[in-house]
Amino acid sequence: MPTTVAMPRLSDSMEEGTIVRWLVDDGGEVARGDEIAEIETDKATMTFEADAAGRLHRLALEGETLAVGAPIAELLGEGEEPSGGDSGAGAEGSAGGADAQEPASAAAEGDAAEDSGEAADGGDGAAAPSGGGETERVPASGGAATAVAEAPTKAGQRVKASPLARRIARERGVELAGVEGSGPNGRIVKADVEAAAERGAAAPAAANGAGAPAAAAPSGEAAGGAKGAVEVVEPTRIQQVIARRMSESKATIPDFQVRTEADVTELLELRRTLKEHDRNASVNDFVVKACALALREHPKANGAFADGKFQLHERVNVGVAVAGEGTLVVPTVFDADRKPVTEIAAETRALAGKVRDNAITPPELAGGTFTVSNLGMYGITSFTAVVNPGQAAILAVGAAVKRAVPAEEGDGFAFRSLMDLSLSCDHRILYGAEAAEFLARVRELLESPWSLIS
């Protein structure tokens, strides 16, 4: 009996995943532990390994989005045949085609969703990756197959069309009822609509005769309104998750901010000294260490408000916001309160490199109890960060700026390096005085940097 390969749960918050790329040909032999597919989750894109051996029979297409637990492939033993249904790869042809990443046909969803011009789905849509074919919104059906978008015809029948093809048809005034589909089971795909639109544009020109003057091309304003032409870009799955979580944060977390400035003149001197002895650590590494020690002393800042209760975490795990290509990823430095700043520096460099190389793993993104977001390297002196759901606070760190301050002795002035710290807090668990005490402790530690070395 074939072994079913299900969409794996690759992160603690993953509900569905997108097949970015198959790494084994349909019908290819697979050994246990072989990498068979790249899957985009709500946090990163990662490879998935087979937990059994056999001949791979694909059930899902590249670009298709399926719920966790839904079948994506089968592993066939000697002499075994697929349990039923065509391979997604075989139905569409090679992945290099213009519409190779479109999902296979399935039962149509309700009329109301289709008539509204949106693909029917039970949750959040996901975008097919832009690595080859068209970028298309793939609705999440919560089952093994993805719903096919259909457009109603005048005769009451229905024409099967992909969501992207239907959107292009609306934009270019193409009647889908007159378009012949080249996709599986006659489904209309992007190339079909574009070809029909070109034929429709050429027909009036031919009717006018060879000597008829060509119509003037519409200006940018006429074609796209006052804003000119509009390019619609579907967000990636990670970008969708970020948007959803940030919306959740602003809608459900009653946040407030407390701010202060830390004199980091001595910290910068210590950092230069460490660098001379090949023990490099960034300002942000010192901030992570200072926050970790302060979190140990202020347990509510290391907690969260959930289900009407306070959750106080045993471990101090500091998330560090890292800008990836077109997205934001927050890998975790575990037990940061117990590590010297040089070890934190080595970890954060390694994690940032994995984010840039798209090699970060779910365990490295999970378990954060607090977050540090630093934009100082971009010259930003002050900003406000959004609290991550499931945490009590997030610290926004600005650039260190030299300013004239009153001298400690006499009536003169001295130049000191000052750094803005802004703490955004969930007021349901962290109150004003507690937040102020925590932030004051972070400032105190940064102004006494030698205490952060070990």
Catalytic residues: 427
Taking phi over 0 as left and psi of -120 to 50 as alpha, with beta for the rest, 340 belongs to beta
Q: Residue 123: name the closest of 233, 6, 237 by CA.
A: 237
**Alpha-carbon distance 15 to 38, whole Å?**
16
The one-letter amino acid code at 448 reads S
Nearest to 369 by CA among 447, 277, 292: 292
Q: Report CA dihedral (283, 287, 293, 296) to the nearest 10 degrees.
A: -160
Question: What is the distance, to the nearest Å, from the Cα of residue 412 to the centroid of all Cα atoms in its chain?
Answer: 51
* Whole-number Å distance between alpha carbons of 304 and 101: 40
DSSP state of 382: -
The answer for residues whose C-beta is within 8 angstroms of residue 369's C-beta and 6 or more apart is: 295, 302, 303, 304, 313, 315, 316, 317, 318, 391
CB 421 within 8 A of CB 400: no
Structure tokens at 175: 């009647």
Contact (Cβ atoms closer than 8 angstroms) between residue 292 and residue 337: yes
Tell me how long the chain is: 454
Q: Strand, coil or helix: what is 421? A: strand
Give, in order, the Cα–Cα distances in Å from 318 to each of 66, 118, 195, 365, 428.
32, 40, 53, 11, 21
Contacts of 368 (CB under 8 A, 6+ apart): 317, 318, 319, 330, 332, 388, 391
